[in-house]
Amino acid sequence: MFRLTIILHLFIGATLSGVGLIAVLVAGYGSGWTLAGAALAGFILAFPVSYAVARAMAGDE
């Protein structure tokens, strides 16, 4: 299940980072640190989300 979690993290992390970047840009913040923070937050938030999705896919509820 670890491999599935890592593979899912590639896609979920990119998606959540992109959503964070779009949200920051729409809010009017365009500095480099703000954009990097939003991307990092999406990357970190993707770990528990990927694990939950992998558990649901594997049937280990």
Q: Read off the pLDDT of residues 5-60 as tens digits, 9 standing for 90 and up.
A: 999 999 999 999 999 999 999 999 989 999 999 999 999 999 999 999 999 998 87
Query: Structurally, how many domains does the chain consist of?
Result: 1
pTM: predicted TM-score of the whole model, two decimal places: 0.86
Residue 61 has pLDDT above 70, yes or no: no
> Which pLDDT value is given to residue 1?
87
Cβ proximity of 50 and 8 under 8 Å: yes
Range of the domain at 6: 2-58
Which pLDDT belongs to residue 60?
73
